[in-house]
A = this chain, B = another copy of it.
Amino acid sequence: MSGVMASSRLPTLDRLSLAEQVAQMVVVRTSGHLFDHEIRYPAWEADCATLSRYVEALGVGGVILLGGSAAEVGLKTQALQSQARIPLLIAADVEEGVGQRFSGATWFPPPMALSAVADRDPAAALAYAEAFGAATAAEALAIGLNWVLAPVVDVNNNPDNPVINVRAFGDGRERVSALTQAFIRGVQSQPVLTAAKHFPGHGDTATDSHLALPVLPHGLDRLHELELAPFRAAVAAGVDSIMTAHLKIPALDARLPATLSSATLTGLLRQEMGFDGLIVTDALIMGAIANAYGPYEAAVLAVEAGADVLLMPGDPEGAIAAVVEAVHLGRIDPARIAASVERLWRAKQKAAPALLPDGAGHAWEHLPPPPVNLTAVAQPATRRLAANILTASMTVQGQIAPSTAAAPGHNLVIVDDAIDCRFLERTAAALTWPQRHHYQLKLIDTQGCEQRPQSEGEASAEPSLRPSLVQIFVRGNPFRASAKLLQLAASWLEALQSAQLLRGIVIYGSPYALEQLSPYLDRVPHGFTYGQMPLAQSLILPALLPEPLAMSVGREFTD
């Protein structure tokens, strides 16, 4: 048994048909929930029967998960690995920790919080970035994810960027490069793959590639100078994969977007920059690609360009057939496919050591996955790390005066969508803490939240405006710009300021929103935190609105 070479643990190419090889290059999307009736995006997420067909009959190489709880994902990945003949890569966009996508796990602030820490203490920021990466990898591993689709290494030098924004480590190349390397080092503490994204750099655009194709007008010099620097740093740190951007960059390719551009993926990334890990497309179902090329041609072009992994093609079976046909027609060299499968094998050896143990000659079968064990998830030390990063990156100016029971104020909570807002639950500090200080909740959103009938011109029974604490939850939103939310917030702030009833402001999420609302912050106690989750609320509110009496503080503050 010993002495068997590592490569023999996965099937050799001649034991896989061409279609089976191409299927290994495909990663399909599904919900992290377990049951079909819980699927929220039926157009995007495979149901259980379809997923089984993809994994068992088609033999896709991987799955990307979104939504559900840590427990659900643990059970789902276990079932998926049991179904697959060849161990799967199982990926998730856990840029802000596993809790960002899967409830129960630890939700970290967005990466840009580390840039704020670095403004004050660069060494601390690097240490946090590494610990953040390590904690994310440990929680990913615990629920069966072996591919962390992070870090975002884009340099967010365009404040209007609707899609990168706080997902980036900052707006300068040195800082982004250093934090990128630290994060990757952290993930490398576990057998979990990393992905630097979005090549060759998505930071300087105001167009959302989920909807349309952005164009980056910069020349090669500028790209080498700025955008590519963090990718070089990631490659130097041993990043396992690089995700492409759906961007058109005429300086690199006059015709095709980066995801489909041979000059970009093979010429620049593979040859010039010497990257020999996995090149993975961003989701092929996104508007920028799907609308312009159709699902089949997009897959063929991406493989031609040098991609090893086709992420979320709209129709996996059709995409595989199209690539196979392109090989048969001589358009794609079979060696192109073979090289990708070889890279996938190397990645799977690294990412699934429990399923592909050293020294065992499991050529066609892999070991059953271990039982679900969530003890590494949401550990106190990991939650404390998230709290420390939140505390180190938040800003607090002044203190808000409590209202009184006799003359209660309003706690105006402004969100994009009250129905769909994971960071607000009934026990969240944003609701409970102001209540204890006699600020009563008024919930406001852009989607239709209202309170009582009031026909035109009818005077309200009670005054609409009271002394108010205003809490605004706002981030760059990839599908709906935050303009409407900011406008709504500004109209309230304007009204309260004129009436001299503005007692305090808390902004959760985007530092760009903070900037935009700066006219209202002058002489008003205010705070900003990168996090929107209950933990962030429980840290900033007691700092801005301290407990008047000695009352017990919640577990979140002492944890």
Contact = CB atoms under 8 A, between A and B. Distances in A.
Interface of A: 33-40, 42, 69-72, 74-75, 103-104, 371-372, 374, 377-378, 383, 411, 417-420, 424-427, 431, 440-445, 447-457, 459-460, 463-465, 488, 491-492, 494-496, 499, 535, 554-556, 559
Contacts of A455: 463-465, 495, 499
Residue of A69, A378, A496 contacting most chain B CB atoms (<10 Å): A69
Given A374-B34, A447-B443, A448-B441, A426 B420 contact: yes
A71 B450 contact: no
Contacts of A371: 371
A459 B460 contact: no
A375 to B, nearest CB: 10
Contact of A69 (B72, B442, B556): B72
B447 A418 contact: no
A40 B419 CA distance: 19
Contacts of A42: 554-555
Given A72-B69, A104-B33, A441-B447, A453 B465 contact: yes
29 contacts: A34-B71, A34-B374, A36-B378, A38-B104, A42-B555, A69-B72, A71-B71, A71-B72, A71-B74, A71-B75, A417-B426, A419-B424, A419-B426, A419-B431, A419-B443, A441-B447, A442-B449, A442-B450, A443-B445, A443-B447, A443-B448, A444-B449, A450-B451, A451-B451, A452-B491, A453-B495, A454-B464, A455-B463, A456-B460
Contacts of A559: 37
Contacts of A103: 38
Contacts of A491: 452-453
A459 to B, nearest CB: 5
Contacts of A35: 104, 377-378
A103 B72 CA distance: 11
Return the 7 tightest CB-CB contacts between A and B, nearest first.
Answer: A441-B448, A453-B495, A35-B378, A450-B451, A71-B72, A420-B426, A71-B71
Contacts of A492: 452-453
A451 B464 CA distance: 11
Contacts of A457: 457, 459
B448 A450 contact: no
Chain copies in complex? 2
A281 to B, nearest CB: 27
A42 B70 CA distance: 21
A34 B70 contact: yes
A443 B418 contact: yes
B555 A36 contact: yes
Contact of A450 (B377, B383, B443, B535): B443
A40 B463 contact: no
Contact of A37 (B378, B448, B453): B378
Contacts of A440: 448
A30 to B, nearest CB: 15
Given A34-B71, A451-B451, A454-B454, 17 more contacts: A34-B70, A35-B104, A35-B378, A37-B556, A38-B103, A74-B75, A75-B75, A75-B372, A418-B419, A419-B425, A420-B425, A442-B448, A443-B449, A453-B496, A455-B464, A456-B459, A457-B457
A37 to B, nearest CB: 6
Contact of A464 (B36, B424, B445, B456): B456
A39 to B, nearest CB: 8
Given A450-B442, A451-B450, A453-B495, A37 B383 contact: yes
A148 to B, nearest CB: 20
Contacts of A426: 40, 417, 419-420
A449 B451 contact: yes
A437 to B, nearest CB: 15
Given A72-B69, A383-B37, A555-B42, A460 B453 contact: no
Nearest to A421: B419
Name which of A70, A371, A411, A451 has the most chain B CB atoms within 10 A of its CB.
A451
A430 to B, nearest CB: 10
A456 B459 CA distance: 6
Contacts of A372: 75, 372
